Structure 1
Amino acid sequence: MNPINLTYWSKLFVAAVSVVALSPISSVLAESKLSNSPQTQLLANQFDRQPVDIPIIRDFSPEKKSEFTLAIWQPGGTISEVIARVSIKSKYGEKYHQERFLGDYKYKIKQKAKFTKGFKLGDRIVVRLYDTSDRFIGYSEFACLTGNTAVNLILSANPSEYQVVRTLYGVDMNNDSVVDNNTTTYDYFTEVNNQKVTFLNSSENINIIQYKAAGFSQVATTGAYPISFTEGDFALVGKSINAFNSNLAKALTVTPGSLVPLTQINQNSSFALGQLLSQYRQIGVAKGIQVSFSDIPNNYWAKEYIAELAAMEVIGGFPNGTFRPNAPVTRAELAALLQKVFIKSKVRKAVTFKDVPRQYWAYDAIRETYEMGFFTILDSKKFNPTQKLKRLDILITLAKGLNYKFTGSATNVLSVYSDASSIRSEHRNFIAALTENGVIINHPNKKLLNTKKVATRADVCALLYRAMVSAGKVADLPSK
């Protein structure tokens, strides 16, 4: 039986990760049968000998961060307020995570709000618009740009009857809510008809007068879209999509204000992505995704990390609704998680391990993560896939695989740990770099690294998520 069956530890980081896409993939650490047979220590004691592989300089670099200011206008009408339902399809590689609800916001016309801290270049933001009678009146979708993005949604004079929205946005590096001069401005129309949304190729058949206002007077005949909207598997231009589907989170289908309170926009409204993901997680993920577990109480130290990785379909629980946070993690299981979380260039040739046959459930994950530079191998013929890992193993695997560097005084940085003297000299710079990058989390005593402690599923979730934060791949969470 496949020890992992990717439906528990992971359903594929994102509905398609390399993941992210819109369809779940099996899971990883959940159904894994924990072997009771003795295993040879590979990572725990591997540093007592000279490793076979030589360190390689890697090209891994943090994701480019983004944020956006969202404003809503209606130059030719009399609507005073509108409700904007905001959601995100996070980009991962060339695909996207399933849509996540980020809240319902009540705007006065011409108001704007800032969404910050955790968005990435290429993330897609979806906005469904409603009038104050809860009628669906418009839809827009745009891509986050480098730095700050100024986004303007412009309604028709009578959006209840003419459900066409103009989306105009671009880079706003000086944060004045105006698209910068001499930069690309994206400008296009979306039309809603019976809950079908069409991304229009042009404005030829649109009465553009009602969409003109100061700063918005020039309307191109041909829609100006980002390349990702016109090419590739996720192109939208000229297509009609469902504004609603059966797989959406409940919060994205109910009447605004019925499930969560409306958030009133004011002059200085600003919202951090991590806070929104945490606040709306229970009702904001796609159907069929479990984000709470019977053995993870609300005050559990790693709850936020476990729940968020579950929401992203990186991990999952067991059929009985538990997560088993204290269960150990094997090298094969870690490889499966790393494969889903990080997309990196291959920096070394694959190795044929005699203890990892082609039919082994984690064969591809082990092969690919090794090629990406993860894992130190002492015996080039063996991977020891069932070997249980210690905390030091996880830390060094992350530090080497992601090429963390440290050139300062490791002694000063490591002084925060009461057991710093137990860190071997060849590991000190790695641990110091991880510390400075905010990756390390210790529980229950934050001053104890406990490098020899067997790494648990909870440990791995916390450390893995923190590594993703440091790489700019995910938003930081409001965790203890």
Structure 2
Amino acid sequence: MNPINLSWSKLVVTAVSVVALSPISSALAVSRLSSPVASKLGNSPQTQLLVGQSEGEAIDIPVNTSFSPEKKSAFTLYIWQPGGTIKEVIARISIKSKYGNKYRQERFLGDYKYKIKQKAKFVKGFKLGDRIVIRLYDNTNRFIGYSEFVCLPENTAVNLILSANPTENKVVRTFYGFDVNNDSIVDNTNAYDYFTEVNNQKVTFLNSSEKINIVQYQAAGFAKVATTGTYPTSFSEGDFAVVGKSINAFDSNLAKALTANPGSLVKLTPIQDNSSFELGELLSKYRQIGVAKGIQVSFSDISKNYWAREYISELAAMEVIGGFPDDSFRPNAPVTRAELAALLQKVFIKSKVREAINFKDVPKRYWAYDAIREAYEMGFFTILNSKNFNPTQKLNRLDVLITLAKGLNYKFT
């Protein structure tokens, strides 16, 4: 493994932010940071640039790419209790961002004080496939419920329905679906409907409602409770399936804000009529305490007024970039071909356009072996009359800028 974490020049941070920080564009706007790269780029879907290994020359080679902006999503969250008398609950909200076929580590998005039947909108930056996690607490901070749902490609209406006595019966019904007309009501199309049950710090995604007193979860406007739960496909199939399983609701690697008592680290946010929250602002607001353990988002040589501080901190929170063992970031440090390959692997999700090469100077034990192979398969880098990759060769700023820009299907104009 590389003995030091990756560090990138100002240019790399700016260019990578064009694609990697798209979910937090609103946070960057708040910070009034702008990219000197983006204004000089224009669309070009036909070509991808591959950095040559000799004298840093750039070579355009036509390839087929499948890069396209991901669909954005938003959701409205209601909390109900048709059969009980609870007046308020605390909803702790977090996100597992979808990245390719995987998810980034869970991040805290705030503690919200809901009155029963209240709603709030969460907008700008959520993507199709992102998983939203809701942990529910009563006013004495007792853990009374848990749910997860997947963001849909359109506006989504989400309803969490509590039992008549949630301190004893910690079963939550989740009923959600498309809300194309943005009226906060699940459209008359296919909807998801399932139950989760909390037992101590474990939560089970139930296969059916057979052993549940469903009357207490029925309310006007909701579909009748089905015997078999209706889950998103990713909940029932694949590496991240949860249906019929019990999972730990408080993993040891979670952020401090996700394990502390509500209100102890951050103030509770009361839900008001027509409350609306933007993802980028929430990620920025809670970044210091909202990322998983072991992720460093502050660096000794990046001051509060440094021009790229927001970019650097958010990319670090996403585990795209990192610092050095002495807690520094070294923004002007040079970038090697191996380091650039590692960054490309983390940032881009592109189709493979060619077979990998067994480079003579990149053994399988080399820290960036997988990243180099995958970046090459995606169309990055070209090898001229040699089977050496030259992983430690330092790249100049133009090499890096053009490679990243063409990876985004842009060209200079």
Q: Which bracket does the TM-score occupy, shorter chain normalised?
A: 0.7 to 0.9
Q: CA deviation at 1:356?
A: 3.9
Q: Distance in 2 between matches of 1:302 and 1:44?
A: 29
Identity among equivalent pairs (%): 78
Q: List runs of 5+ in structure 2 lacking aligned partners.
A: 9-50
Cα deviation, 1:101-136, whole Å, max 9, x if unaligned, reads: 000001111111111111111111100111112211
Q: Distance in 1 between matches of 2:347 and 2:297?
A: 18
Letter in 2 for 1:134: N
TM-score, structure 1 normalization: 0.73
Q: CA deviation at 1:219?
A: 0.7
Matched, 1:46 2:52: no
Q: CA deviation at 1:373?
A: 1.3
Q: CA deviation at 1:260?
A: 0.4
Give the secondary-structure state (helix, strand or coil) at the position aligned to 1:399: helix
Give the secondary-structure state (helix, strand or coil) at the position aligned to 2:77: strand
Matched, 1:431 2:412: yes
Q: Could you tell me which residue of structure 1 aligns to residue 170 of structure 2?
A: 163
CA contact (8 A) 1:44 1:393 kept: no
CA contact (8 A) 1:352 1:381 kept: yes
Q: Distance in 2 between matches of 1:366 and 1:8?
A: 14
Matched, 1:318 2:299: no
Q: Distance in 1 between matches of 2:119 and 2:104?
A: 26
Cα deviation, 1:282-337, whole Å, max 9, x if unaligned, reads: 11111122111111111111111211122122222212111111111112110011
Q: Could you tell me which residue of structure 1 aligns to residue 392 of structure 2?
A: 386
Structure (1 or 2) with the greater strand fraction? 2
Q: Could you tell me which residue of structure 2 aligns to residue 104 of structure 1?
A: 111
TM-score, structure 2 normalization: 0.84
Q: Distance in 1 between matches of 2:88 and 2:54?
A: 59
Q: Could you tell me which residue of structure 2 aligns to residue 177 of structure 1?
A: 184
Q: Could you tell me which residue of structure 1 aligns to residue 139 of structure 2?
A: 132
Letter in 1 for 2:352: K
Matched, 1:85 2:92: yes
Cα deviation, 1:145-189, whole Å, max 9, x if unaligned, reads: 1111110001111111211110000111111111111x2210011
Q: CA deviation at 1:263?
A: 0.7
Give the secondary-structure state (helix, strand or coil) at the position aligned to 1:206: coil
Q: 1:211 to 1:357 in 2, by over 3 A?
A: closer
Which structure has more relative contact order (CA 8 Å, sep 6+)? It is 2
Q: Distance in 1 between matches of 2:85 and 2:158?
A: 21
Q: List runs of 5+ in structure 1 lacking aligned partners.
A: 11-39, 405-429, 433-480
Q: Distance in 1 between matches of 2:53 and 2:258?
A: 47
Residue 191 (structure 1) aligned to one of 186, 197, 200: 197
CA RMSD of aligned residues (A): 2.1
Residue 401 (structure 1) aligned to one of 400, 407, 412: 407
Q: Could you tell me which residue of structure 1 aligns to residue 241 of structure 2?
A: 235
Letter in 1 for 2:329: F
Matched, 1:148 2:148: no
Letter in 2 for 1:293: F
Letter in 2 for 1:253: T
Q: Distance in 2 between matches of 1:281 and 1:43?
A: 41
Q: Distance in 1 between matches of 2:386 and 2:181?
A: 53
Give the secondary-structure state (helix, strand or coil) at the position aligned to 1:54: strand
Q: CA deviation at 1:431?
A: 2.5
Letter in 1 for 2:375: T
CA contact (8 A) 2:320 2:346 kept: yes
Matched, 1:350 2:365: no
Q: Distance in 2 between matches of 1:90 and 1:64?
A: 13
Q: Distance in 2 between matches of 1:380 and 1:68?
A: 52
Q: Could you tell me which residue of structure 2 aligns to residue 14 of structure 1?
A: none
CA contact (8 A) 2:52 2:381 kept: no
Q: CA deviation at 1:339?
A: 1.1
Q: CA deviation at 1:351?
A: 3.8
CA contact (8 A) 1:375 1:401 kept: no
